[in-house]
Structure formats: structure tokens, C-alpha cells
Amino acid sequence: MRIVVVTGEELPLLLLDPEPPPDELRLLLSDTPALSRQARRRGFRTATGKLTSSDLYRRVRITPTDRILLHLPRGRVLARALDAVLRVQPNASITVLLGPHQRPPSRWAEQVFSIHPHEVGAGSLRALMERAITRRSLSTIRSVIQGADRVLLLVQDDPDPDGLAAALALRSLLGRNRLTATIGSFGEVKRPENIAMIRLLDIHVERLAQGDVAAFDRVALLDVQPMHSPGIPAEVDLIIDHHPRRPQARARFADIRPKYGATSTIMTEYLLASGLPISQRLATALLYGIKTDTQLLGRDTTPMDVSAFSTLYALANHALLRRIDRPQFPRSDVAALGRALEQAEFVDDLLFAHMGPLAREDVVPFIADFCLGLEGVEWAVVSGIAEGKLTISVRNFGAGRSAGEVMKAAFESYGSAGGHKAMAKAVIPLDRIPPECLDHDAWIRDRFLVALYEERNGNGRRR
């Protein structure tokens, strides 16, 4: 990789790390022979010429992968030099290090990333220069979307915090509102934490039906790629995602970075490169997106995720985040909770609670979570009936048998059943339950206990 520094001053030479990585080549373009000598002592190659003339840039063959740094604090030289560079290489990646009272060059605000010397922390000028690349991609994104009346910001079928935050960020980068850039999904927000997120951050997600996509002038996919589900078109205008690239995916512009832990990290980089302010609401959403996708900066985290996280951490509303993370128990479900506690039956370290008819099924996992907090309870098996289906939710502390395996063994032959080590779920249509089992409570308990003890025996670890 080549760093090209265009200047007549020594400041940029001093601010660049004195020991570049081995694959980094440095070139100084200057009109001052004394500065060239100084630069050569620091390991630079040098060329001299008129900095406002395209000839110089043509001579050193500027390419789109060069990282160019301009520091021309005097008079109109900066504007004329920018003009000369971009004439030779319109896709150049350019960072401008401003002088003390110099304004960012407004004519090239879209393509160029400007920084003040005081923003350069310890040895991070090189890191900041990478933002110029992001800036150039942002300019492409804006031109792809430009001229559209209505843009669809399409997220996955079960919208998660990373997708939703990425959509909010793109809307902000495009300077649009919820009418001109609509967040849409072919499914609905389901997890209680995600429902809390859209409610507390006032995010509107439009539920789409097949064919609705045609009503939009542009389609942008966030945190998802074409053909992920039947509704998502094979060809879109824009993709920004961190999942493995799908070779069939087609887009006018795609920024897919499978190494990243979250799409929210990519979006944070765009926001920082744009120079736009990041509102508290947006920072809170993005921080939560990174937090949930990387499982609290655990699994699959990169230094980029940590860096975005720490930037957002200072801007986010932490009181709100706590409320999203630990959603408040809905008042309308207090009666169901009371019923669960009244019905609770303890068998050793297991708790069974069947609540009978419920208004909504999503209260079931909530109450299972709650019951796991009761003294001596290692397993909570909570159930209820809604919309003609029996929903059973299981929680444990994750140390013993896998909740998912036990639930599969117990209920797979009646409906859908499965899950992870510490949480699992079964949903069974009422007409699939054997007619002689009128007492759902006993039916669930017996099947669960048989499956659990078979599992325990099968593994030779009866307690």
C-alpha cells in the first residue's frame, strides 16, 4: 500500500508513525527541496513539482488504492491541488489535514475526509486516513440512492437490533426521514428485547407483503443479503452487511465485510467518516446492535468492533439501554404471572407452571425467565395457551442437560420443539395433543420429566 503525502510543511511527516508497517510505501510530493531531504531521512521516497498541476500526479501514477494526505494550509493552493488530483484520479482516496484556521474544502465535501491536527491522537493519523476510503464509498452510496422519492431499508424477517440500528444509521447518512426512507421487513419484531428497543427508540418497522417492494424507487439491504428469505429480491440497489458473501447477490453497490462482528460497526465507520453528528438515539441503537451481535464483544469481535463500541459508548443513553436489555414486565400480563406463581409445582429442582389461556404467547418466556430466579429452581418449565396453540418455554442455568435436546425428545412428535442449552421452546397446535390428555399441566410435566431423566440416564449421570 502506498501513502502519498502532498505538502510543503513538515507537520504531516511528524504526525505519521516513524516506523511504518513493512508493506507500506511512503511518497512525498513537495515543492520544497529541503523538506524532501528531511523526508528521505525518514524513509520516504520523494518527487518534486508544482502541487497544483495535474502533471505531477500523472507522473507518479495516482491509483484508487493510494492513501493520499494533503496538507496545504495556505491560500487557495488546497482547492487547486484537490482539483488537480481528482482530475487525474476521480476515485482517489483523499484525507485533508487542515491548517489552524483552514475550513474544510466545501466543493469536495463528499469525496474528501478533512481532519484538524488536534483530532490526531497518539500516532493515529494513519488510522484516520482509512476513513477517506469509507468517505469515498459513502459518496457512491449517496449517488446510488440519489433522486429516489421512496427508499426501502430492508432488514431480515425477524428484525434484530443490528439490522434496525444499521437502517437508522443509513437513513441518517442519506439525510432522509421515515417517509422517504422506510424501514421494512417481511416478518415482525418478535424478541421481547427487540420489541422494547423499537418502542423505547421509537423505530417504526413496516410489515411488508410479497410485491410491496415494487412501490419503492430504491431498495437497500441492511444486515442481510438477497435470497435470504423468499420476499427479498435477488437484485437490489445497495447491500451493507457482515454475513458471508452470497455469490448470487446482485447490487449496484455492495459493502460486505464478513470479518466484522456487526453491520452497526460498518455503519459507525460511515458516520464517523461523514462528519455528521451522531444523535444519542442513533448511538444507543448502534451500541445495542454491536453488543447483541458480538454477544457483549465476546464471540467474533474485531478491533473495529471494539473501536466503534467505545466511540458510541460515550454518546449513548445508558439508562435507556438498561431498560431495553431488561424489558419491564408488561402490566397487562401481571394476572398471568400471578396465575403462574399460584399454579407453580416443584419437583426437586424443577418448577412447572401452566397458565392456561393467555392474550399473547410472548409472555411465556418472560415468566420462565422470572421463575428461574426463585430459590432452588434449576429448571423452569412454563406454559400457556394462545391462538389455538400450546407454548412451552424452558430455562435452566446451562450447566446440566441441554434444554433444547430435552424439549425435542419430549415434544417434537407433536409440534415444533428445540432450542439451546439454557433456553428452549415448544409450540404445539391444540388439536395435536392426544384427546385423552385433557389436563395439559400433567401431560407437559410427565413428558418433560421422562425426557429429562432418560437424558440424564442416557448420559450415565443421574443425580
Binding site for Mn ion (CB under 5 A): 162, 223, 263, 293
* Cα–Cα distance measured from residue 317 to residue 322, given in angstroms and rounded to the nearest whole number: 9
* Cα–Cα distance measured from residue 14 to residue 8, given in angstroms and rounded to the nearest whole number: 13
What is the separation, in whole angstroms, between the first and last Cα of the chain? 61
**Is residue 231 exposed (0-12), middle (13-18) or buried (19+ Cβ within 10 Å)?**
middle
Q: In the bound complex, which residue of the shown chain has the CB atom lying closest to Mn ion?
A: 162
For 75, the grid coordinates are 491560500
Task: Pick between residue 243 and residue 456 the one whose CB is nearest to Mn ion.
Answer: 243
- Supply the minimum distance, in Å, between the C-beta of residue 297 and Mn ion: 14
Beta bridge partners of 4: 27, 68
- Supply the minimum distance, in Å, between the C-beta of residue 264 and Mn ion: 7
Task: Pick between residue 161 and residue 184 the one whose CB is nearest to Mn ion.
Answer: 161
Residue for grid cell 439508562? 319
Q: Which helix H or strand E contains 4, and what residues bound it?
A: strand 2-7
- Supply the minimum distance, in Å, between the C-beta of residue 85 and Mn ion: 36
- Supply the minimum distance, in Å, between the C-beta of residue 271 and Mn ion: 17
Other Cβ atoms within 10 Å of 161 Cβ, number: 28
- Supply the minimum distance, in Å, between the C-beta of residue 88 and Mn ion: 39
- Supply the minimum distance, in Å, between the C-beta of residue 162 and Mn ion: 3
Angle between helices 280-293 and 303-313 (to 10 degrees): 150
SS3 181: strand
Residue for grid cell 408488561? 330
Q: Residue 314's Cα: distance from chain center in Å?
A: 18
- Supply the minimum distance, in Å, between the C-beta of residue 242 and Mn ion: 6
Q: Assess contact for 36 and 9: CB atoms under 8 A.
A: no
Task: Pick between residue 223 and residue 305 the one whose CB is nearest to Mn ion.
Answer: 223
Q: Assess contact for 136 and 277: CB atoms under 8 A.
A: no
- Supply the minimum distance, in Å, between the C-beta of residue 163 and Mn ion: 6
Task: Pick between residue 73 and residue 159 the one whose CB is nearest to Mn ion.
Answer: 159
Task: Pick between residue 306 and residue 449 the one whose CB is nearest to Mn ion.
Answer: 306
Task: Pick between residue 241 and residue 405 the one whose CB is nearest to Mn ion.
Answer: 241
Q: Please choose, from the candidates 417, 413, 409, the residue with its C-alpha nearest in 3D space to the C-alpha of residue 383.
A: 417
Task: Pick between residue 162 and residue 361 the one whose CB is nearest to Mn ion.
Answer: 162
- Supply the minimum distance, in Å, between the C-beta of residue 223 and Mn ion: 4
Task: Pick between residue 26 and residue 291 the one whose CB is nearest to Mn ion.
Answer: 291
Task: Pick between residue 141 and residue 290 the one whose CB is nearest to Mn ion.
Answer: 290
Task: Pick between residue 293 and residue 305 the one whose CB is nearest to Mn ion.
Answer: 293
Long-range interactions of 326-332: CB distance < 8 A, separation 24+: 327/192, 327/193, 327/195, 327/196, 327/366, 328/196, 329/366, 329/370, 330/363, 332/359
Q: Assess contact for 250 and 269: CB atoms under 8 A.
A: no
- Supply the minimum distance, in Å, between the C-beta of residue 441 and Mn ion: 39
Beta-carbon contacts of residue 273 (< 8 Å; ≥ 6 apart)? 113, 131, 132, 134, 135, 138
- Supply the minimum distance, in Å, between the C-beta of residue 419 and Mn ion: 21
* Cα–Cα distance measured from residue 52 to residue 93, given in angstroms and rounded to the nearest whole number: 17
- Supply the minimum distance, in Å, between the C-beta of residue 260 and Mn ion: 9
Task: Pick between residue 240 and residue 321 the one whose CB is nearest to Mn ion.
Answer: 240
For 194, the grid coordinates are 427487540
Task: Pick between residue 293 and residue 405 the one whose CB is nearest to Mn ion.
Answer: 293
SS3 103: coil
For 218, the grid coordinates are 430504491
Other Cβ atoms within 10 Å of 223 Cβ, number: 29
* Cα–Cα distance measured from residue 163 to residue 155, given in angstroms and rounded to the nearest whole number: 6
